[in-house]
Structure 1
Amino acid sequence: MHNERNFMDGVFVDAGGEPPIAVHNPATGEHIAEIDAASPAQVQVAVAVAARAQRDWARRPAIERAQYLRKLADVLVANAARIGAALASESGKSLTDASNEAIYAAEITRYHAEWARRIEGEVIPSDSADETILLQREPIGVVACLIPFNYPVYTLLRKVAPALITGNTVVVRPSNNTPLCAFEIARAVEQAGFPAGVVNILAMRHEHASLLCTQPPVGMITLTGSVGVGRSVLEYCKVNIAKPSLELGGKTPAIIEPDADLEQAASAIVASKTTNCGQLCTAIERVYVHARVHDRFLNLLREKFAAIRIGDRSEDPSRMGPLISEGARRDIHAKVMRAAAEGAVLEAGGAIPEGRGFFYPATLLSHCRQDMEIVQEEIFGPVLPVLCYGTLDEALRMANDHQFGLSSVLYTEQYRTALKVANRIEAGELYVNRTPADPYQGFHAGWKRSGLGGDDGKHGMLEFTQTRLVVMRY
């Protein structure tokens, strides 16, 4: 077991007197580390130094800021194994997957560095003959970044890189489940030579996170998390009228048309549902199958779900790893049991395994109804409900009859069907004949309760800016 310290103003700082945060390996339940929890005074200092550093950082040419990002990307790649080892120990991922996440984080960092020469404003015609109207893109100031546990390396850079290229500074609060990898990223920031105060990373308890988000210099709060936490962030934003950017819950529907390649669709959906033990906001969470192919497709899913083996991925990367905590496992199992009590048929899984670690089997439920909790609420685990439909209009009605609208999936070989769904699905994303992957040149933005704002691409980068109108009379 080891201790980690918080990183602010360019250095790692001693504990501020708060009880430490315990970190566990979810594959074994073992207590593996103690993290210094930031004190209220340290949180306030971190925001203050970020605000001070932001003035100089924003004055630097964007291409100079990009040079720091490119250096950081190089350091992330060089230290991918070290970052991956920390992430694997606290998340239950395999070392390969965890190390690859660091490399993906480096790639999105390089991508945002490329925007240095492309942060565009506008020239707008004036109603007066002797005037020019300019619309400039400017940084917001200090950004509070709240990071989830499921992809904590990638998501951290997904938020930090666009914030920095546009001239903001950041205070990052990693998940208390996965803070070790965040401090490895802090070491990478230190090695890349960023000016002091530009990037600050502090572990803290919930009440101190609220203090972070309500400090006057914080002009934007970006969160990837649950709807409940999103509501809390909106309350924090009210204090200083800060800008929210929220990626919240998801309940990705997959529609399987009768002309679909069923084998391809089943394999992809099972992989989506079991990758990272289903702890992914765009993982397939409900499947609507046309009546003509329902039984065949259900058989394919049943066979593939039954073949999934669980276990410690540090010992066998071919197995599905654990959920993040015992609390998550209890919550998911309770949902499965309530679905069974309401009439769903358990086709695979559904039992808590014996032994250490927070494992849960790949679980398939058939004969589900649209009004069931298992269909209406996010599961965030390896559980998949299947429903039957008769017409595409019926499938669309059920897919759209939902509080969430993050991502969606369609399997069909008919372009007319694809275009109809593309124009009628109530979600920020549609993937045709594949499962979601969040391309970082796209725009990852949810509808309904799935969020406000968005990440990735040009539009995700511009989320971290505000506009200034300049009217020049000559």
Structure 2
Amino acid sequence: MDRENPATEESLEPVETDDADDVEAALALADEVYPSWSERRLEERRQLLADAADVLRENEEEYAQLMTREMGKPITGARSEVEKCAWVCEHYAEYAETYLADDVHQSSPEAKALTSYEPLGPILAVMPWNYPLWQVFRFAAPNLVAGNVGLLKHASNVPGTAEIIEEVFLEAGFPEGAFQSLIVGSDAIEGVIEDERVRGVTLTGSEPAGRAVAETAGRELKPSVLELGGSDPFVVLDDADVETAAEVGVQARTLNSGQSCIAAKRFIVHDAVYDEFVDAFVEEMEALTVGDPSEEDTDVGPQAREDLMKDVHEQVQDTLDAGATLETGGEPLDGEGYYYPPTVVTDIPRDATMATDEVFGPAAAVFRVESEEEAIGLANDSSYGLGGSVWTEDLDRGERVARRVESGCVFVNELTKSDPRIPFGGVKNSGYGRELSEHGMKEFLNEKTIWVQSASDQ
């Protein structure tokens, strides 16, 4: 696979792709390793996962720099991503025994009824480039410790990261075949899902890709989990701490150079604080440092590919052509690299592109509303439902509004984020199923009911 550094437009050394024979060998190995891996004592699997956390920390700088070269992630964010992957490994190493414990149910006096949580087999993960380490580890950690084995089809612009993820598990002591990366294009995925040795599939990516994977998985009667992006609302009510909301809002929009499915994308601001918020928000956006992602003080790096930068610019221009107002940014930066500046657009028609589509870059759409009720209505006026954020000094009010936002998660006075301790996923066109926490761990387990009746009571 060809690779390119998006900060410099320089070609990186290509990574050799796997052919059909390589894929078959990987599937055969996964099928061969699964029985012995699933039968290993849970304590052994937990220890190996804790060892994987150690490997990640020992090689943090190497892995961070690789992500920065392959997809342009600012180096400080890349280091944080490696640490977060170590955290998810440690979390499941610590809590797997609790999460996998049998559930005991009511039954007749002469019997015992329980649910046992048992692995299914090889699980395929189709993962994106924007968080190339974290997206994979939040799948791999719970599934491996539960006894499944993993197969990864990573995005085609981060094949080097795909390779080092497999190396992390091997270095930690996992058996060969417990986790494998398939360096293949998207055209190979349908056949892998259809293979009888693969027992489930999870995808994080675009809506069209999710629909294609879901169709194949459904036809094969295999469980699937889909996380398909979002257009998250960031609701600022009339009693919000405006200064803090603006400061955190900038971070929520530009984290990972704006390339995040749970980034704040639609800023819905009450009229009473609208002008104050916009002024503070624009000032904070303009203060960000855009530049070389390998530099420590860079806030916003390049977009991961040239076509992605062009997509963001087209969305901004379409919205301006529809009558919106440009407050700052709005033009790709001159010079090498695929840089798009922090951008703020206001006065947006409700049917304009930035109001209806997901904008996967550092461009914010700001809307003025007259009431709490209108804010909730606009927040829910989207085909997506991944995350959301509500800002108010009244915590009871914040929780009440959060309950009415149609999404998989809502944070009050905080930016939306994923966390190993809480379930993550969306509704509507943002997909279905959950990752992380106990809920995510059980998506690819057989929830087996066992009824034990006393023989003397037959």
Q: Report the TM-score, using the length of structure 1 for normalisation.
A: 0.93
Separation in structure 2 between the aligned mates of residue 72 and residue 315 of structure 1, nearest angstrom: 28
Separation in structure 2 between the aligned mates of residue 353 and residue 105 of structure 1, nearest angstrom: 32
Is the Cα contact below 8 Å between 1:222 and 1:245 reproduced in 2?
A: yes
**Aligned position for 1:359:** 339
Alignment CA distance shift 1:421-1:225 (3 Å): same
Is the Cα contact below 8 Å between 1:407 and 1:430 reproduced in 2?
A: yes
Unaligned runs of 5+ in 2: none
The amino acid that maps onto 1:334 is E
State the shift of 1:151 in Å. Answer: 0.7
Separation in structure 1 between the aligned mates of residue 370 and residue 214 of structure 2, nearest angstrom: 40
State the shift of 1:309 in Å. Answer: 3.4
SS at match of 1:152: coil
Is the Cα contact below 8 Å between 1:409 and 1:430 reproduced in 2?
A: yes
**Aligned position for 1:108:** 88
Separation in structure 1 between the aligned mates of residue 242 and residue 316 of structure 2, nearest angstrom: 26
State the shift of 1:239 in Å. Answer: 3.9
The amino acid that maps onto 2:409 is E
**Aligned position for 2:405:** 425
Find the partner of 1:123 among 104, 108, 111. Answer: 104
Q: 415-424 or 62-71: which moved more?
A: 415-424
SS at match of 2:301: coil
Find the partner of 1:267 among 228, 247, 250. Answer: 247
State the shift of 1:129 in Å. Answer: 4.8
Is the Cα contact below 8 Å between 1:83 and 1:185 reproduced in 2?
A: no
Q: Deviations over 1:54-98 (max 9, x none)?
A: 111111121111111111111111111111121111121233332
Aligned pair 1:200/2:185, yes or no?
no
**Aligned position for 1:452:** 432
Aligned pair 1:182/2:162, yes or no?
yes
**Aligned position for 1:407:** 387
SS at match of 1:292: helix
Q: How does 1:205-224 map to 2 (within 5 A)?
A: 205-224=185-204
**Aligned position for 2:73:** 93
Is the Cα contact below 8 Å between 1:171 and 1:202 reproduced in 2?
A: yes
Aligned pair 1:35/2:20, yes or no?
no
Q: Deviations over 1:260-312 (max 9, x none)?
A: 11111111111111121100111110011111111121111222222233211
Q: 426-435 or 94-103: which moved more?
A: 94-103
Aligned pair 1:229/2:209, yes or no?
yes
Find the partner of 2:30 among 23, 29, 50. Answer: 50
Separation in structure 2 between the aligned mates of residue 105 and residue 316 of structure 1, nearest angstrom: 21
Is the Cα contact below 8 Å between 2:74 and 2:299 reproduced in 1?
A: no
**Aligned position for 2:151:** 171
SS at match of 1:423: helix
**Aligned position for 1:83:** 63
Is the Cα contact below 8 Å between 1:123 and 1:135 reproduced in 2?
A: yes
State the shift of 1:121 in Å. Answer: 2.2
Q: Deviations over 1:305-328 (max 9, x none)?
A: 222332112145324101110111
Find the partner of 2:229 among 249, 255, 258. Answer: 249
Separation in structure 1 between the aligned mates of residue 144 and residue 95 of structure 2, nearest angstrom: 11
SS at match of 2:283: helix
Q: How many residues get paired?
A: 453
The amino acid that maps onto 2:105 is I
Is the Cα contact below 8 Å between 1:39 and 1:208 reproduced in 2?
A: no
**Aligned position for 2:5:** 25
Separation in structure 2 between the aligned mates of residue 68 and residue 214 of structure 1, nearest angstrom: 30
Separation in structure 2 between the aligned mates of residue 121 and residue 453 of structure 1, nearest angstrom: 21
Find the partner of 2:266 among 278, 286, 290. Answer: 286
SS at match of 1:271: helix
Separation in structure 1 between the aligned mates of residue 48 and residue 295 of structure 2, nearest angstrom: 37
Find the partner of 1:67 among 42, 47, 58. Answer: 47
Separation in structure 1 between the aligned mates of residue 127 and residue 237 of structure 2, nearest angstrom: 37
Q: 227-236 or 88-97: which moved more?
A: 88-97
Unaligned runs of 5+ in 1: 1-20
Separation in structure 2 between the aligned mates of residue 390 and residue 100 of structure 1, nearest angstrom: 39
SS at match of 2:25: helix
The amino acid that maps onto 1:394 is E
Is the Cα contact below 8 Å between 1:130 and 1:473 reproduced in 2?
A: yes
Q: Report the TM-score, using the length of structure 2 for normalisation.
A: 0.96
Q: Which 4+ runs in 1 deviate beyond 6 A?
A: none
Find the partner of 2:115 among 111, 117, 135. Answer: 135
Separation in structure 1 between the aligned mates of residue 244 and residue 109 of structure 2, nearest angstrom: 62
**Aligned position for 1:464:** 444
Q: C-alpha root-mean-square deviation of aligned residues, in Å?
A: 1.4
**Aligned position for 1:16:** none
Separation in structure 1 between the aligned mates of residue 430 and residue 70 of structure 2, nearest angstrom: 27
Aligned pair 1:298/2:298, yes or no?
no
Find the partner of 1:334 among 304, 307, 314. Answer: 314
Alignment CA distance shift 1:239-1:33 (3 Å): farther
**Aligned position for 2:356:** 376
The amino acid that maps onto 1:78 is E
Is the Cα contact below 8 Å between 1:254 and 1:287 reproduced in 2?
A: yes
Separation in structure 2 between the aligned mates of residue 116 and residue 34 of structure 1, nearest angstrom: 38
Separation in structure 1 between the aligned mates of residue 147 and residue 299 of structure 2, nearest angstrom: 43
State the shift of 1:369 in Å. Answer: 2.6
Separation in structure 2 between the aligned mates of residue 361 and residue 343 of structure 1, nearest angstrom: 21
Separation in structure 2 between the aligned mates of residue 371 and residue 416 of structure 1, nearest angstrom: 32
**Aligned position for 1:7:** none
